[in-house]
Amino acid sequence: MDKFLTAIAAVIAANALLCLYRAAVGPTVVDRLLAMNIVGTKTLVVVVLITFIQAESFFLDMGLVYALLLFVVTVAFSRYLEAEKRGDGR
């Protein structure tokens, strides 16, 4: 089972690299934001898979903190982009 989870983690990490490419060359800022959010989510999934492979709960705690941070950063950057689009600078 550990080999299967390791293979799944490797596939998800490779997919995250493809999304990282989209974040680098995305045609718009919103595309880049979404691609970075996807990369963060895939990284979170890999961390959770590592938790199951290593049977260590510390990684799960770290994953929860990372998920919260990812959410807050995504919302903050989205609000910044929306304020910039309106031009009011709030």
Per-domain residue ranges of the chain: 2-86
- The answer to whether 12 touches 41, Cβ cutoff 8 Å, is no
Q: What is the pLDDT of residue 76?
A: 93
Q: How many CB atoms lie within 10 A of CB 82?
A: 11
pLDDT digits (tens, 9 = 90+) for 33-82: 899 999 999 999 999 998 888 888 888 888 899 999 999 999 999 899 88
| Mean pLDDT (whole number) for 15-44 | 90
88: pLDDT strictly greater than 80: no
Among residues 5, 73, 4, 1, the alpha carbon closest in space to that of 45 is found at 5
pTM comes to: 0.81
89: pLDDT strictly greater than 80: no
Residue owning tokens 């910039």 = 84
| Mean pLDDT (whole number) for 4-8 | 92
User: Following DSSP, what letter does each residue of 1-69 receive, concatenated?
Assistant: -HHHHHHHHHHHHHHHHHHHHHHHH-SSHHHHHHHHHHHHHHHHHHHHHHHHHHT-HHHHHHHHHHHHH
